[in-house]
Amino acid sequence: MTLATVSFSPGGKEASVEAGVTLASAAALAGVPLRSPCGGQGRCGKCLVQARGKLSEPTAAERRVLSEQELSEGWRLACQAVVVGDAQVSVPASSLVIEHRIVAEGVGRETVVEPSVQKAALRLPLPSPDDARSDLTRVMDALGGRVAPPSRAAALRHLPHAVRAQHGQVTAVVIGGELVDVEAGDTSEACYGVAVDVGTTTVVLYLCRLGTGQVAGVASGVNPQAQHGDDVISRLQFAVSTEDGTRRLQREVVGLINDLVATVCQQAGVSRHAIYEMVAVGNTCMAHFLLGVPPLGLAGKPFAPGFKSGQDVGAAELGIDINPAGRVYMVPGIGGFVGADTVGVILASELDVSNGLRVAVDIGTNGEIVVARDGDLYACSTAAGPAFEGARISQGMRAASGAIDSVTVDGAVRYHVIGDVPPRGLCGSGVVDAVAELVKAGIVDGSGRFRAPEELDWVEEKVRRRVVRNEGGLEFVLAPAEESGTGRPVVITARDVRQLQLAKGAIYAGISLMLSRLGLEPEGIESLLLAGAFGNYIRRESAVAIGIVPAIDGERIVSIGNAAGVGARLALCSTSLRRRAEEIGRRVEHVDLSQEPGFYDHFAEAMALRPLSRLG
């Protein structure tokens, strides 16, 4: 076995690896988060690095993506280049997974705060000649018999010291009706929990004061599993085909959660030992990975999950760095790929108790749609693909600094860039806006066809000359090279428009099929809730104009932010809402769209770039 040292700049991180691993794996080991939208297949070219040292010859995939000139300058695709001996790698910022803008606000549901975690400050009489009760009996008696004795030895081990440390002043920690620990002194104020939304792309974590339900801190980060691909299918593939794959995915996400816990603790000046419970939501795959359950049944039809009910497990068992006696509650899922995050959305938006026809759409790589009719609930997932996250778009990027996030095209072209820096690409809302504006301006027709400059004699010259013909076909220049942050123009191409059509066609077909199955009309929707980060940034007018959602009154369309995360917070702070979540998980009817006849027709029709209503 030959060990090689691979160093990464800037940052100076190093990894000592066996010869034969890819630069991407070495980067992961060194803690350098490289982008990998295609899952390391050498197709997307986003993990570009410049390397010196002993590496394998360029692969066919690299020769396709890189020019001779670039290869001679040492540019490589990290997912393809294999370490032969020591190497030095320079990583351009554009190849790093970067922190992006995250929605951490949302809707709320009024509830009585009644967390599963209870702390009781007790003053115990110290043992005396006529009172030789055991320490445990002393605590149990003081608690008044409503609590089950501990099932872990650790609680007993802490007990004698705690009782004697401050003259009998102790705090009993009770979770779910069981005594789990006894702490010395009165620590009843230090009672926190965390709620975490484990997204395929982004993980958001909230620190909550359990006594009041207040949020004391928020932190978020990019799910490090992204190095195995952007979508859940690539990760499933990794989990089932790699030795120890599920465990590696589990360790990666737990590592991030622990970092986020440390961050929020620092923000709020709280010890991680004061955190007694974590409540998690996430899609079915994320739930499996968090608990380390191999998702074998999800890899092919009929997509049977390993579990779907709510799970209550020890935090230590998962390696979650909170109080060692703490618990982790995984919110239940619904069925197929529709998971706990959708239960969270329903919980937060009160769809389970509302009247009339309401629809919630979580627009993401996997779109989830919930239809609520007088409290009857139906949910489906629809594979929109990652276009809404900016992936598979030629100059797509996540909603991070440098991303164009909104566009107007009238007499001139105007755009807004996140972070007020020169633009480097487009994020999902920018793509939606750009396409909606090009359709409005007539540069793209309702079928999604780009019109050539010669067909556009009625368009103002300064806009028309932005329509250019390239090897790949027509494209529209949003920002010319001299305005951009990359030295190249930022464009949206004819192919990008097609990618968006596929993504939004899948979402709309999902909404349309669900409604038609229930014999309902889109016009009857009383409120349409857009959940998720994308839902918050998208312009409603654009979403309606190009038919991502049905053409209803703008006032009836409401962005509800990270509702899944809010749902997790509610389940953390209220045991009755946690029971409600269990009930929702059982009650929602999961609709498998792939089994639905007519999907094809709805999908094709839903690709039109115009306001849409009933299809079929």
Partner 1 sequence: MALIDELREAIITGNRDRTKQLVQKALDEGMTARQIVVEGVAPAMEIVGEKFRANEFFVPELLIAQRAMKEGLSLLSAEAVDHIGTVVIGTVKGDLHDIGKNLVAAMLEGAGFKVVDLGVDVSPEKFTAAAKDNSANIVAMSALLTTTMGSMRDTIQALRAAGIRDNTRVLIGGAPVTQAYADEIKADGYAPDAASAVEKAKALLAA
Residues at the contact surface with partner 1, assessed by CB under 8 A: 39, 41-43, 60-61, 233-234, 236-237, 240, 299-301, 447-450, 473-474, 494-495, 497-498, 501-502, 505, 594-595, 600, 603-605, 607-608
What pairing do the DSSP bridges indicate for beta strands 376-383 and 589-590?
Answer: parallel
Q: Are 30 and 13 in contact (CB under 8 A)?
A: yes
Helices (H), 52-177: 60-65, 68-72, 135-143, 153-165
Cα three-residue angle 378-196-532, rounded to 5 degrees: 50
> Could you tell me the smallest distance in angstroms from the CB atom of residue 537 to partner 1?
26
Residues 6 or more apart whose CB falls under 8 angstroms from that of 349 comprise: 107, 109, 358, 360, 529, 531, 560, 563
Q: Counting beta carbons within 10 angstroms of the beta carbon of residue 87, is it exposed (0 to 12), middle (13 to 18) or buried (19 or more)?
A: buried
Environment class of residue 68 by beta-carbon count within 10 Å: exposed (0-12), middle (13-18) or buried (19+)?
exposed
Are 24 and 40 in contact by the 8 Å Cβ rule? The answer is yes
β strands within 364-512, DSSP E: 366-373, 376-383, 403-409, 413-417, 425-426, 467-470, 473-479, 490-493
**From the CB of 514, what's the least distance to partner 1, in Å?**
18
The nearer residue to partner 1, 42 or 339, going by C-beta atoms, is 42
Closer CB to partner 1, 234 or 536, in the complex: 234
Minimum CB distance to partner 1 smaller for 372 or for 593:
593
User: Distance (Å, rounded) from C-alpha 422 to C-alpha 616?
Assistant: 44
**Residue whose tokens read 């009247």:** 355
Minimal CA–CA distance to 510: which of 549, 568, 554?
A: 549
Least Å distance, CB 430 to partner 1, is: 20
For partner 1, the closer CB: 41 or 169: 41
Shortest approach of partner 1 to residue 285 CB, angstroms?
11
Nearer to partner 1, 50 or 237 (CB): 237
| Least Cβ distance, residue 368 to partner 1 (angstroms) | 18
| Shortest separation between residue 203's beta carbon and partner 1, angstroms | 23
Q: Strand 357-362's sheet: what is its strand order?
A: 557-561, 527-531, 357-362, 366-373, 376-383, 589-590
Q: How far is the CB of 598 from partner 1 (least distance, A)?
A: 13
Indicate the residue among 65 and 360 with the shorter CB distance to partner 1. Answer: 65
Residue 259 host element (H or E): helix 245-268
| Pick 138 or 228: Cβ nearer partner 1 | 228
Backbone angles phi, psi at 292, to 5 degrees: 75, 30
Environment class of 114 (CB within 10 Å of its CB; exposed 0-12, middle 13-18, buried 19+): middle
Least Å from the CB of residue 236 to partner 1: 6
Between CA 399 and CA 388 the distance in angstroms is: 10
- Of 383 and 584, nearer to partner 1 (C-beta) is 383
Cβ 606 to partner 1, closest distance in Å? 9
The residue (of 52 and 614) whose beta carbon lies closer to partner 1 is: 614
Question: What's the min distance (Å) between Cβ of 424 and partner 1?
Answer: 24
3-class DSSP state for residue 303? coil
Token look-up 């627009």 returns 363
CA separation (Å) from 515 to 91, 380, 555?
48, 11, 20
Q: Do 103 and 536 contact (CB within 8 A), yes or no?
A: yes
Q: Specify the residue, 239 or 427, whose C-beta has the smaller distance to partner 1.
A: 239
For residue 151, the number of C-alpha atoms closer than 13 Å in the C-beta half-sphere is 10
Least separation, in Å, of the C-beta of 604 and partner 1? Answer: 5
Of the pair 271, 600, the CB lying nearest partner 1 is at 600
Q: How far is the CB of 169 from partner 1 (least distance, A)?
A: 57
Q: How far is the CB of 238 from partner 1 (least distance, A)?
A: 9
Q: Using the minimum distance from each CB to partner 1, give the nearer residue, 144 or 597.
A: 597
Contact 575, 351 (CB under 8 A): no
Q: What share of the chain is helix, strand, coil (3-state, %, to 5)?
A: 35, 30, 35
Q: Nearer to partner 1 by C-beta: 418 or 494? A: 494
If the CB atoms of residues 236 and 478 are measured against partner 1, the closer one turns out to be 236
| Shortest Å, Cβ 209 to partner 1 | 43
Q: What are the φ/ψ torsions at residue 57 (nearest 5 degrees)?
A: -65, 150
